[in-house]
Chain A
């Protein structure tokens, strides 16, 4: 099953929410949207617009009241999170505090931590790839905030699932650090080509790595499109209002990509 997961997913899988409705007992959220396969899509929108809920529906932490969640064309609405071809990185609590870096990453390979030689090699490679070599035995509390999220990304690498969900994972990091992390995500994406759904509040994050944008407003998908279009003023009115002055003047993406 582990090998199957690894082999079947060289490329990203399409993610589609087919008239998915969901409610916490208030006004229902309705999502009907398809995400670009093997691309990074930034999901943006005001607080309470349903960004995290959308990710939770894809990840399987929430079950739709109606509609279907399709990943790779398969309806996964009834499947538990661990079975879905999805990895997710949260804003915090991505790691078990009592387990070492190596073990936390290893859990991505085997939930019982019974690891083979190949697994160990994959873990070491992932740690090296995320710049954590030499920190295998540390506990999460001995790491910086950025390093902790790197461990989470290392685990994403060893899990090797075709869909990656990022729920504001770098919101609490400083600008330079955040950029480093975004570049790491972009690099990982370039290698593995998974479909990335990236919830963020920061327009510059979306501009830095986002190829597509899904803009949510009031529990509905208000607009979708290419990131370039959104940031060059072709985006919907609500989006312009949301990002406000920061997007008032269009900045070349090349400049934005490399902050000095």
Chain B
């Protein structure tokens, strides 16, 4: 119960952010419901026996994908944290942010270039399996693709968590001669365990909304997610009421699962309150080094191989001509500008929510969390399970009477992508903010450093790195977006993924491959830039 006014501005920032998000989602629902209010039959008709099967499959594939992405990521992240310095480490981490930016179809083709019926590994796999290789269509294909997207993501997030372990603990471990195994059990695992529900929840949400991957690699409608139903409702049937019903169902299901996940991890709250490690005191023996190297190499191979396949396909395109095309250049510029703006908005929202959550937690002490705190905590993450097409369509309906829908298209693309990227940004910013706050809270209160002053003088310098990470993530995600742009895209707003799909749709497969390469490169360049901007200034003592 610290004096309330010392934290007001942070809480209000969080409330503003929450209100903006609620407005975005709620407004869209209102738009759809208003339109669909005269015909609710479609909404009720959605509840048929087939829906049950869809729900079962949706949950099942999401659960398996989460398990297979998150469990190995724990060990890969640990391996990376045990070796804080080796050649190419930073680059590996930057590469790990690229899959997020790839449109699902590009990733699927990349994966199939390896494990497909005509893939590079088809020969080997056929020999192993005996007979001809049937490809990875079915659940296995879905899982491989989802792990490709989410293993690198989870690895990066776990690594962020591991980096908040105070250096004193490592010194102590080193001094006590703690071997790798007890060090993992006593030092790393508690931190990872604390981060686990959040990361698993995030990955689960991404997988539950998967659509293109599930259909293409799943082999057919036996593998159908709720998201397909939502798309069908809006794209083919134009049944807004049903789209809203299915979306609410999707949110409810995810809520239950995430709640269960939080319960699992609720008893171990990670104590990330101490100084962030400046130096690590690690003694990693030879055999562990080998093991870690193997782990990292395997993960790298798994993530990089489909990207390499994408690069190879892209090199087959007439890159010179593509780069010279005005359309391509314009689309690249549009993509970068839109992604930049939505990343900016996304990081701002995340920071506001993080600050509010921390301020509320400090005020609360041992008491129960308020609804507001829950909302700034896990609640905000649920935006991920609202399909962008639902938000887009809802606002379209709402605004069409008011103004020029073309003019709002870029605004919609920026805002929706910002909100969709926010849960990622949140995970990157929160641990660092909480740790910094633990160090600075009393000092700031004492010296009266609050609001804007605090942001600029205290929080910004200590959060620059995680903010850059969050920014890179958000930007990568927005760059690859096809959900909103598919609805709002027109000649005036063309992004790279949009152009890519358009080329594919007109037999220009090679152009599309070239654009995929370009998209990947732009994404990588942005991530490298964000990393560079966020690096800590090195001063000689």
Contact = CB atoms under 8 A, between A and B. Distances in A.
Check whether chain A touches chain B (CB < 8 angstroms). Answer: yes
Given A82-B445, A83-B448, A139-B539, A63 B1 contact: yes
B440 A111 contact: no
A107 B449 contact: yes
Given A81-B445, A107-B449, A99 B3 contact: no
B333 interface: no
Contacts of A86: 446
A78 B3 contact: yes
Contacts of A97: 439, 462
Given A80-B5, A99-B457, A142-B541, A61 B445 contact: yes
A141 interface: yes
A60 B2 CA distance: 8
A78 B2 CA distance: 9
B443 interface: yes
A93 interface: yes
Interface string B152-186: 00000000000000000000000000000000000
Given A80-B445, A93-B439, A108-B447, A113 B457 contact: yes
Contacts of A78: 3
A88 B446 contact: yes
B453 interface: yes
Given A79-B3, A81-B6, A107 B278 contact: no
Contacts of A139: 539
B453 A112 contact: yes
A244 interface: no
Contacts of B462: 97-98
Contacts of B365: 24
B461 A98 contact: yes
A80 to B, nearest CB: 4
A86 B447 CA distance: 10
A155 to B, nearest CB: 8
Given A96-B440, A97-B462, A141-B541, A111 B2 contact: no
State the main secondary structure of chain A at its contact with B: loop
B139 interface: no
Given A61-B2, A80-B6, A25 B366 contact: yes
Interface string B331-365: 00000000000000000000000000000000001
A96 B461 CA distance: 10
Interface in B439-464: 439-440, 442-443, 445-450, 452-454, 457-458, 461-462
B443 A93 contact: yes
Nearest to B3: A80
B539 A112 contact: no
Most buried by A among B3, B365, B457, B458: B3
A63 B3 contact: yes
Interface residues of A, number: 32
Nearest to B537: A98
Interface string B5-20: 1100000000000000
B458 A81 contact: no
A154 to B, nearest CB: 13
Nearest to B461: A98
Interface in A49-101: 59-63, 78-83, 86-88, 90, 93-99
A141 B445 contact: no
A62 B2 contact: yes
A61 B363 CA distance: 11
A220 B75 CA distance: 51
A107 B539 contact: no
A64 to B, nearest CB: 10
A75 to B, nearest CB: 13
Contacts of B449: 82, 107, 111-112
Contacts of B452: 112
A111 B453 contact: yes
B458 A96 contact: yes
Contacts of B541: 141-142
A81 B366 contact: no
A159 B448 CA distance: 12
Contacts of B458: 96
A100 B448 CA distance: 19
Interface in B420-451: 439-440, 442-443, 445-450
Contact of A87 (B278, B442, B446, B450): B446
A25 B442 CA distance: 21
A16 to B, nearest CB: 19
A26 B447 CA distance: 30
A215 B191 CA distance: 40
A90 B461 CA distance: 22
Interface in A101-141: 107-108, 111-113, 139, 141
Interface string A17-57: 00000001100000000000000000000000000000000
Contacts of A113: 453, 457
Contacts of A82: 6, 445-450
Contacts of B446: 59, 81-82, 86-88
Nearest to B440: A96
Interface in B165-214: none
B442 A96 contact: no
Contact of B445 (A60, A99, A112): A60
A99 to B, nearest CB: 7
A82 B3 CA distance: 11
Contact of A93 (B3, B440, B447): B440
Contact of A90 (B1, B6, B442, B539): B442
A97 B541 CA distance: 13
Contacts of A112: 449, 452-453, 457
A142 B366 CA distance: 37
Interface string B399-434: 000000000000000000000000000000000000
7 contacts: A81-B3, A82-B6, A82-B449, A107-B447, A107-B457, A111-B448, A141-B541
Given A61-B442, A142-B541, 14 more contacts: A24-B366, A60-B3, A61-B2, A62-B2, A78-B3, A79-B3, A80-B445, A87-B446, A90-B442, A96-B457, A96-B458, A111-B454, A141-B278, A141-B541
Please give me the 9 A-B residue pairs with the lowest Cβ-Cβ distance, nearest first. A82-B448, A98-B461, A80-B3, A111-B449, A81-B445, A112-B453, A80-B6, A111-B448, A142-B541
